[in-house]
């Protein structure tokens, strides 16, 4: 497999996703699937109230289409699509409850966490016992595979749940999560090419195109939000691809933006409790902190895209040391 093939799949995926997203928007408007903005968020976001959500449906449809068109469909492809679908369905349920109740509170946190863990453990058990890949994990810098043994299942489960929630937290500004994920996904497409995982390479390239096509409508000012339907699916897709390729430790490098977003929320909560109500950031997740500092939304998104690109380059350099 060559880089030109990955680019071709990504370009086709972009066109397919743009068409599917364009078709989906009027359907979502007709069904009254609209976003409800939390009152404690930035006041500038209140104008986004009523924007159609659940755009992740089109992202997943484009991903499935291009994964099959790209060829090399294997058991690995089906497993990655299944994990993506399950997280997407979980996100859809969360979005649907929000729409039905007409506020920004869907599933309870513990309900989402339990369901996420069940999906993640299922993937971990499959990888350890049935995939044939075993419990080895590739370690950067030393360029060796290390057998995690009994630790492998909790390790993989943590990776999946952490990624699903981190990508979900990143989805807070127009074009932020879709743009960052397009970059990270294409990096993992290159990883798949270099590591000889053709199915994962095609899957990640298709994911890149699906995100870019959606970005045509999701960029500022967004005509459509991906919702939890999309953000959870994207987190599941990236995690499952990295796990299939055994490169889990490249995720926090290429996806540093996701890590920082999640850490900002954790730090904010812990600091708030430890200081009796004081805040470490002006607002969490991190992208809102920069907004509250006076940066325009478009500039915050552009800055995060640039950081994501630099992180992907850094991950590529680390991978080839």
List 137's β-bridge partners, or say none: 146
CB 54 within 8 A of CB 229: yes
Q: What was the pLDDT predicted at 84?
A: 98
Q: What backbone phi and psi angles, to 5 degrees, belong to 139? A: -110, 120
CB 60 within 8 A of CB 85: yes
Number of Cβ within a 10 Å radius of residue 82: 16
Backbone dihedral region for residue 147 (phi beyond 0: left; psi -120 to 50: alpha; all else: beta): beta
Average pLDDT, consecutive stretches of 10 residues, N- to C-terminus, the chain (321 residues): 93 98 93 68 66 94 97 94 98 89 78 97 98 96 95 98 97 96 98 96 98 96 94 98 98 98 97 94 95 95 98 97 89
Q: What was the pLDDT predicted at 33?
A: 82
User: Rounded CA gap, 303 and 289, in Å?
Assistant: 13
Q: What was the pLDDT predicted at 31?
A: 81
Written as six digits, the tokens of 220 are 């500022």
Dihedral angle sign, alpha carbons of residues 179, 213, 55, 80:
negative
Tell me how many domains the chain contains. 1
Q: Encode the chain in three state secondary structure.
A: CCHHHHHHHHHHHHHHHHHHHHHHHHHHHHCCCECCCCCCCCHHHHHHCCCECCCHHHHHHHHHHHHHHCCCCCHHHHHHHHHHHHHHHHHHHHHHHHHHHCCCCCCCHHHHHHHHHHHHHHHHHHHHHCCCCCCEEEECCCCEEEECHHHHHHHHHHHHHHHHHHHHHHCCCCCHHHHHHHHHHHHHHHHHHHHCCHHHHHHHHHHHHHHHHHHHHHCCCCCCCCHHHHHHHHHHHHHHHHHHHCCHHHHHHHCHHHHHHHHHHHHHHHHHHHCCCCCCCCCCCHHHHHHHCCCCHHHHHHHHHHHHHHHHHHHHHHHCC
User: Rounded CA gap, 105 and 94, in Å?
Assistant: 8
User: Rounded CA gap, 226 and 56, in Å?
Assistant: 5
Written as six digits, the tokens of 190 are 């290159």
List 146's β-bridge partners, or say none: 137
228-273 residue pLDDT tens: 999 999 999 999 999 999 999 999 999 999 999 999 999 999 999 9
* Domain of 127, in residue numbers: 3-319
CB 265 within 8 A of CB 284: yes
């Amino acid at each position: 497999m060559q880089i030109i093939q990955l680019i071709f799949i990504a370009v086709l995926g972009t066109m397919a996703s743009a068409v599917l997203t364009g078709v989906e928007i009027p359907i979502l408007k007709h069904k009254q699937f609209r976003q409800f903005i939390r009152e404690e968020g930035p006041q500038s976001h209140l104008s986004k109230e009523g924007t159609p959500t659940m755009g992740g449906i089109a992202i997943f449809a484009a991903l499935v289409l291009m994964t099959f068109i790209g060829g090399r469909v294997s058991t690995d492809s089906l497993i990655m699509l299944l994990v993506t679908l399950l997280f997407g369905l979980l996100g859809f349920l969360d979005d649907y409850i929000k729409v039905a109740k007409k506020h920004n509170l869907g599933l309870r946190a513990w309900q989402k966490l339990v369901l996420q863990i069940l999906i993640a453990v299922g993937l971990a058990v499959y990888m350890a016992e049935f995939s044939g890949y075993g419990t080895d994990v590739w370690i950067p810098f030393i360029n060796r595979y290390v057998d995690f043994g009994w630790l492998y299942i909790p390790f993989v489960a943590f990776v999946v749940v952490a990624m699903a929630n981190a990508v979900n937290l990143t989805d807070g500004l127009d074009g932020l999560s879709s743009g960052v994920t397009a970059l990270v996904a294409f990096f993992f497409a290159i990883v798949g090419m270099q590591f000889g995982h053709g199915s994962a390479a095609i899957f990640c390239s298709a994911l890149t195109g699906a995100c870019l096509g959606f970005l045509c409508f999701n960029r500022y000012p967004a005509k459509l939000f991906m919702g939890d339907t999309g953000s959870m699916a994207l987190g599941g897709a990236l995690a499952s691809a990295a796990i299939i390729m055994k490169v889990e430790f490249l995720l926090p490098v290429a996806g540093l933006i996701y890590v920082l977003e999640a850490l900002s929320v954790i730090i904010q909560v812990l600091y708030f409790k430890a200081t009796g109500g004081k805040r470490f950031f002006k607002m969490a997740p991190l992208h809102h902190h920069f907004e509250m500092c006076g940066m325009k939304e478009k500039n915050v998104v552009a800055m995060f895209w640039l950081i994501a690109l630099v992180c992907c380059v850094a991950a590529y350099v680390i991978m080839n040391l």
